[in-house]
Chains A and B, each alone.
Chain A
Amino acid sequence: MAKQVKIDAKGMHYTPLNQQIRKAIEDGADEIIVDNVLGQRFIGNGLRGNATIRVNGVAGGDLAMFMSGPTVIVNGNAEHAPGNTMDSGKVVIHGSAGDAVAHSMRGGKVFVRGDIGYRGGIHMKQFETQRPILVVGGSAQTFLGEYMAGGLLIVLGLDGVMKAREIGSGIHGGEIIIRGDVDEACLAAGAKKLPLTEEDRARIAPVIREFAADFGLDAEPLVNADYTRIVPASARPFAGKYTWE
């Protein structure tokens, strides 16, 4: 039988809170429910294993940073940089999230139902079997996918708004897929847009279905929608900038 642990985070500093979560995992908990979270930072930080942590409230900065394995479900919003330098596992945010979501993420999944702030997916990277995935249900702000070096970033624009400008500045790997058309003027230097092929669609369909299932959405209209695919114009964005002494 799955072992469940409940923690009341009301008025608690992040260090004892995270120590309690870490201890619960060490003691073999499969599910940890943290109630009354109000901005405590670093939840799930550096944790291994495959437990599920349910965060009820607003998660503070660097949620699941360096995390390697667990699943974190936030019933609320998340602050700055959830999924920062994350290795593997999954973060599901039922609200919106702040700036630098999935910063330098190298594996696992971050799903945000609402909007994200500036620099979403910045410097995401991939290596061999590790390929990070960030899916945003709402809109993303400017500098989306900046310096992106790998991975998959999908923005669904479910609320009919897409605010991102300067998309993919310095992108040199990975792909950004945005529902609907994206004006060329919103692309930064170094990024180019391509139509989504049926092969691409088949590749992203399981991700969209998983996202839809997590948030109780109807998947098929999203799978079959029109998308714009944004990729690097060059894998060497700085190659032409320098000469040797």
Chain B
Amino acid sequence: MSSNFGSMPLRYRISIDREQCMECGRCVENCPYGVFRWDGNRILINSRNCTACHRCLTYCPRDAIMLQEHPCDYRSHPVWTRSVRESIYNQARTGKIILAGMGSVANLPIIFDHLMLDACQVTTPPTDPLREPVELRTYLGKKPAKLEFTQKPNGDVELSTELTPNLMLETPIMLGHMSYGALSLNAHVAMARAAKETGTYMGTGEGGLHPGLYPYQDRMIVQVASGRFGVNVDYLERGAAIELKLGQGAKPGIGGHLPGEKVSADVSRTRMIPQGSDAISPAPHHDIYGIEDLPQLVNSIKEATEYKKPIFAKIAAVNNNAENVAAVARSGVDAIAIDGFRGGTGAAPRVFRDHVGIPIEVAISTADQELRKQGLRNEVSIIACGSIRESTDVIKAIALGADAVYIGTAALIAMGCRVCGNCYQGLCSWGIATQRPDLVARLDPDVASKQIANLIHAWTLEITELMGAAGINSIESLRGNRDRLRGYMLDEGLLEILDVKSVGA
């Protein structure tokens, strides 16, 4: 059934400077969305198909292509914004839930940007990281509440407390869970190599573990989500750690859904489902219907893997975050990843992406405070995720109480992603979020892994410098050290929740 809306105003307009253009056709070859086509020896443009992925601009040898967002104005209105109006047109035409790609686009203040870092001056001098080492090595997992020692007859002392397995990270930055299926194999291989090179770990997401990643399995955190795709005992044994996905920041409270179109032969083998079938992850784990069921699942995985690996749980940051975190900490897990409301996704209902959940800064701080209050902080490590954009976000998250962070979108951007938000189309021109072989081949894992490793190195250097400037020589001394933060233009209520003083105080 048609509507009376006709053509909507263009989202993007692509233009070619015909004086510059030499009709080489690279734009036609590079655009998977069908913006460019040959008409005899002239290149025609269909701007309506454009996603602003920038592939054509990048590969135009003459800088002849230009992109303009929203070339057509609506009457401006502060209430009935373009986004509101276009959503109404869409739903009036279709009667359906609107799905959108990547993280929240809600224009809300970012708390990280209102937290200022401390530095030393005359009362205590800064340290020089070139001369004095700054220790970023991080261990994720349970720490004993106390240590016991025995003395041998010859006087030597040895540790008698039994330690539980931890993951050792050379830098507190990990690559977060994005599944094979949502991402291409080349993107996964690039992330795995970067994790190995930088001494950190990457998450598999819930799509199983492709055999191409077995060489890096000691750098992989294998995920068990409600769909249990690709999960068997072999998968659990391959991972360095196992993560139970209980929630996702981009869409708290709902499950996931990989459409059948993306379930290629290879994805089907890795997920262990028939080719072309929908991969539906229910909202809850259907063997967890209450808080007492969670320890059962955690212990079941520990029994199956003989207590050899740390078990993580990932939850979305929501209103009763502190209670959720305390409940998960008591289930026996070794680390809790908390995903803030700006977390990324291949696809999520727009209303969830933009309206459900709380900021990661608040969730980390309240989790850390609640765990300390309940005497549980040593029982679990905390991993912050959901829109960690730069090294200062990492350092602020740690000062608010996190042990480490997961990065997702930042790693994709390091591989070339332009945050066009069309991951769900499966046509990613950069070869990142697609399964189409010719597009996947565009992403060279050697090049992409180097770029991700460069990003992690660069952030690590910046963190080292910032810590040195603050006179902090080990990550343990930064963790939960809110005194090294000050809130700028944050209200009194929020400062109290964060347990951070105002600038000037």
Contact = CB atoms under 8 A, between A and B. Distances in A.
A115 interface: no
Interface string B251-292: 000000101100000001100111001101010001101000
A165 interface: no
B278 A238 contact: yes
B233 A48 contact: yes
A80 interface: yes
A87 B232 contact: yes
Contact of B99 (A68, A103, A170, A245): A245
Contacts of B299: 41-42
A122 B226 CA distance: 11
A100 B286 contact: yes
Given A119-B286, A244-B424, A245-B90, A147 B280 contact: yes
B15 to A, nearest CB: 24
Q: Which of A68, A122, A237, A243 counts the most chain B CB atoms within 10 A?
A: A243
B91 interface: yes
B370 to A, nearest CB: 28
Given A103-B287, A125-B273, A172-B280, A238 B304 contact: no
A90 to B, nearest CB: 16
A170 B282 CA distance: 10
Contacts of A235: 260, 277-278
A149 B228 CA distance: 12
Interface string A221-245: 0000000000000011111111111
Contacts of B467: none
B97 A103 contact: no
A84 B300 contact: yes
A77 B357 CA distance: 42
Contact of B278 (A85, A146, A172): A172
A103 B286 contact: yes
Nearest to A85: B228
Nearest to B350: A245
B227 interface: yes
Given A46-B304, A66-B236, A149 B273 contact: yes
Question: Is chain A's interface secondary structure helix, strand, loop, or mixed overall?
Answer: loop
B98 A243 contact: yes
Interface string A143-160: 000110110000000000
A123 interface: yes
B373 interface: no
Contacts of B97: 241-243
A45 interface: yes
A240 B90 CA distance: 14
A242 B287 contact: no
A113 interface: no
A242 B99 contact: yes
B100 interface: yes
Contacts of A244: 98-100, 424
Contacts of A245: 87, 90, 98-101, 350, 421
A87 B304 CA distance: 13
Given A123-B228, A235-B278, A18 B286 contact: no
Contacts of A130: 272
Interface residues of B, number: 45
Interface string A169-208: 0101100000000000000000000000000000000000
A83 B249 CA distance: 31
B300 A42 contact: yes
Nearest to B260: A236
Interface in A123-152: 123, 125-127, 130, 146-147, 149-150
Nearest to A146: B286
Given A172-B277, A173-B274, A41 B300 contact: yes
B131 interface: no
A85 B231 contact: yes
Interface string B288-313: 01000100110110011110000000
Interface string B88-102: 001100101111110
B303 A80 contact: no
A236 B278 contact: yes
A243 B233 contact: no
Given A41-B299, A46-B303, A127-B268, A87 B99 contact: no
B361 to A, nearest CB: 27
Contacts of A106: 228, 232, 272
Interface string B215-233: 0000000000001100111
Contact of B94 (A61, A239, A243): A243
A115 B421 CA distance: 48
Given A172-B278, A241-B96, A65 B286 contact: no
Contacts of B87: 245
Contacts of A241: 96-97
A232 to B, nearest CB: 10
Interface centre among A66, A147, A172, A173 (most CB of B within 10 A): A66
Interface of B: 87, 90-91, 94, 96-101, 227-228, 231-234, 236, 257, 259-260, 268-269, 272-274, 277-278, 280, 282, 286-287, 289, 293, 296-297, 299-300, 303-306, 349-350, 421, 424
Given A41-B296, A45-B303, A85-B232, 10 more contacts: A41-B303, A45-B304, A46-B233, A99-B289, A119-B286, A147-B282, A147-B286, A150-B274, A236-B260, A237-B278
